[in-house]
Amino acid sequence: MSLDPSRILFRAVVLGAVAVLAACATTTPYQPLGDGGGFTEQKIETNRYRIAFLGNSSTPRQTVENYMLYRSAELTLNSGFDYFILTSNDTEARTRYSQSVSAYGGPAWGGWGWGGYRRGIGFGVSSATPITDYQAQAIVLMFKGQKPEQNPDAYDARAVKESLQPLIQWPQLQAK
C-alpha cells in the first residue's frame, strides 16, 4: 500500500513546523515569576526568606539551581546582609508527557465498487514525549559579618553573585 503524495507533503510540512517551534524554545531568563518561569521570594522574618526559582522545560536543572542561589545572594545584599545559610534546599522535577497521534494508510472515504461497498483503512501511530521542568526552593537565613568557614551551608553573598553573574541570562527587552 503506497502513501498519497499529498499526505507525504502534509506530513513533511507538519514535521518541519514542529522542528522550527522546538528550535525557538529558550531557557527561562533570570526574572521575577511570569510567563515561562522566574523567581519568587517570601519574607518570613527580618533575616529569613523562602526563595524559589521555576524554570520552563528548556531550562536545565543546574541553571534553575544557579538562579535560586543568585537570587539568594542578591536579596541578601539588597537587605543589608553579607552572607546567607540555606536551612533547607530542594529541587523538584515535574515531568509531563506530550502525546501525538499521526494517521496514515488508506483513504478515509468509502464507496461502491466491484464486490460491493468498500471502505479505506487508516492506521494510527501514537508517541509520548516527556517534558520536564525544574523548581529549586530554599529557606534562606541572612547574616552580617564574616561567613563562618566551618559551616558548609554558609555562602558569602558577594562571592556567589560575582561567581554566578556570567551565567545569568537576562530577559530580552521587548519593543513597545
Per-residue pLDDT reduced to its tens digit, 130-168: 889 999 999 999 999 999 999 999 999 999 999 999 999
Grid coordinates belonging to 163: 561567581
Hey, CA dihedral for 154, 157, 158, 161, is it positive or negative? positive
Q: How confident is the model at residue 100 (pLDDT cuts 50, 70, 90)?
A: confident
Q: Tell me the whole-structure pTM to 2 decimals.
A: 0.71
Amino acid present at 117? Y
